[in-house]
C-alpha cells in the first residue's frame, strides 16, 4: 500500500526539479523510486534537499544529488510521510524525530505531498498518536511542567540501542505529548509554540496540498484547497 501511494506521488516529479526528501520508511520508498527513474533516464537534473541524515543517506544510496536550502530556498515539491493524517490534510509528524526540518522544507515547497497507508488516516488527530514537540535541552524541564499544567501527558523520548534521550539532528530533545484527542489542532499549535523553549511541533496545519493513501482497494487521492490550483 505504501509503495502504490509512493508511486503516485513520484509521478509529480519532473526533470529539473529541486525537491524535498522526506524522512521515514514511506518517504524512503519514494526516494528509491526517484533514484530508479534517474538511473533509467526517465528523469534528469533532479536535486534533493533531505529533511534528515536518514533521508540524506537514502538519497545518496539511490543516486540523487543533494543540495541545500541556502542554494535553493524555494523547492518545487516535497514528498513525505505522516504518523497520522485526517481528511482535511492536517497531520501529525515527527515520529522519526525530523519534525523541525520537515516543517521548514514543507514551508519552502510549492507543492507538499504526503504518502501513507490507510492505517494513518484518521477522523480525529491525536487518538492513539502523540504530538512530538522539539525542545531546546536547556528548557526541557520547564516545558515538561508547562505541558502537565495544560492537562497533557508528556513523555521525554528515549532511544533504543543507546542510553538517555533521543537527540535530534539539530541537537535538541523531543517530548511526545499525548492528548485524548486534538479537537482544535491550530489552537493547540499556537499554545505549544507559545511555551518558551519549544522550537517546533509535529502538527502540520495548512501545509499539505495533496495526499496519496494506499488502501487494499487501491490509492485514494485527498486534495487540499491551500494551493489546489498547482496540482496536476
Residue recorded with cell 542554494:
71
- Residue 28 burial (C-beta neighbours within 10 Å; 0-12, 13-18, 19+): buried
Of 58, 102, 189, 200, the catalytic one is 102
Pair 66, 47: CB distance under 8 Å: yes
Residue 105 grid cell = 522544507
Residue 42 to residue 26: CA distance in whole angstroms: 22
Q: How many helices (H) and strands (E) would you count in the chain?
A: 6, 14
- Distance from the first to the final alpha carbon of the chain: 22
Q: Which residues pair with 213 in a beta bridge?
A: 116, 220
Residue 193 grid cell = 509554540
Residue 70 grid cell = 541556502
Pick from 216, 228, 213, 231: nearest CA to 87: 213
Instruction: Based on the residue annotation, tell me whether 102 is a catalytic residue of this protein.
Output: yes
The 3-state DSSP class for residue 66 equals strand
Catalytic residues: 102
Amino acid at each position: 500500500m505504501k509503495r502504490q501511494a509512493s508511486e503516485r506521488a513520484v509521478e509529480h516529479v519532473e526533470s529539473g526539479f529541486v525537491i524535498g526528501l522526506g524522512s521515514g520508511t514511506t518517504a524512503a520508498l519514494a526516494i528509491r523510486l526517484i533514484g530508479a527513474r534517474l538511473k533509467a533516464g526517465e528523469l534528469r537534473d533532479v536535486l534533493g534537499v533531505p529533511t534528515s541524515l536518514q533521508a540524506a543517506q537514502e538519497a545518496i544510496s539511490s543516486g540523487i544529488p543533494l543540495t541545500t536550502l541556502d542554494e535553493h530556498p524555494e523547492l518545487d515539491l516535497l514528498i513525505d510521510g505522516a504518523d497520522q493524517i485526517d481528511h482535511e490534510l492536517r497531520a501529525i509528524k515527527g515520529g522519526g524525530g525530523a519534525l523541525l526540518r520537515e516543517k521548514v522544507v514543507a514551508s519552502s515547497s510549492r507543492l507538499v505531498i504526503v504518502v501513507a497507508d490507510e492505517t494513518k488516516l484518521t477522523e480525529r488527530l491525536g487518538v492513539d498518536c502523540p504530538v512530538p514537540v522539539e525542545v531546546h535541552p536547556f528548557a526541557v524541564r520547564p516545558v515538561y511542567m508547562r505541558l502537565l499544567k495544560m492537562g497533557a501527558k508528556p513523555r521525554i523520548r528515549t532511544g533504543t540501542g543507546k542510553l538517555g534521550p533521543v537527540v535530534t539532528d539539530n541537537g535538541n530533545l523531543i517530548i511526545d505529548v499525548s492528548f485524548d484527542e486534538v479537537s482544535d489542532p491550530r489552537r493547540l499549535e499556537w499554545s505549544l509554540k507559545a511555551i518558551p523553549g519549544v522550537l517546533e511541533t509535529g502538527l502540520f496545519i495548512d501545509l499539505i496540498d495533496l495526499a496519496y493513501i494506499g488502501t487494499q482497494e487501491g490509492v485514494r487521492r485527498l486534495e487540499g484547497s491551500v494551493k489546489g490550483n498547482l496540482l496536476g
